[in-house]
Amino acid sequence: MNLAHNAVRFFLGISRHYSRYGWIWMLALLIVVILTHHWKLAYNYTNSLPQTLFAIQLGQKDVERGDYVAFYPPKSATAGNEMPFVKKVVCLPGERIRTYGQQIFCEDKPVALAKKISLKGEPLQKIQDQLLGEDDYFVLGTHPDSFDSRYSNFGPINRCRFIGKAYPIF
């Protein structure tokens, strides 16, 4: 009898709680569902950018110069691994990339300096002069040792590889 009485009290307490605060729980559930379908967190494990944590707006592929973008680089850039990168957009589709020595220019403005040797001691080939295609973006990290579009086996990133627009959190 005592167990049945406690069970009834428990369920009546839950019922009162739900009738008072149920809208909060439903709103919280709705927010979680919306955020997990439209947003994702990304952690930067390297020094390529000063920020460590990014919020990714999934599917947002309309980016401008200076925006951060999350994407899957070509397999040649990651030894075949599918790992997302976050970089800053510095050149847009239709813009011309030129190189003079190790210096890289976008529309005749200097944007990066390519290294000849990686931190692992491997040779690096800089990108060739080119006009970016209609959906191609030149992306960079801010660190001089960042592996990004300045190197030929990374190259420009096509919009179809974008995961979404990235917003630095910290």
For residue 25 the two structure tokens come to 């729980």
At CA 106, angle to CA 166 and CA 89, rounded to 5?
0
pLDDT value at position 99? 97
Cβ atoms within 10 Å, residue 66: 8
Tell me the CA end-to-end span of the chain in Å, nearest whole number.
57
Closest to 47 (Cα-Cα) out of 159, 164, 144: 144
Q: What is the mean pLDDT of residues 10-19?
A: 68
Residue type at 118?
A: S
Question: Model confidence over 71-128: pLDDT tens digits?
Answer: 999 888 887 778 899 999 999 999 999 999 999 999 999 999 999 999 989 999 999 9
Largest CA distance in the chain: 88
166 has pLDDT over 60: yes
Closest to 43 (Cα-Cα) out of 31, 54, 28: 54
Strands 162-168 and 109-113: unpaired
Q: What is the mean pLDDT of residues 4-15?
A: 68
DSSP-derived 3-state class of residue 165: strand
Question: Model confidence over 57-81: pLDDT tens digits?
Answer: 999 999 999 999 999 998 888 877 7
Q: What is the mean pLDDT of residues 4-18?
A: 68
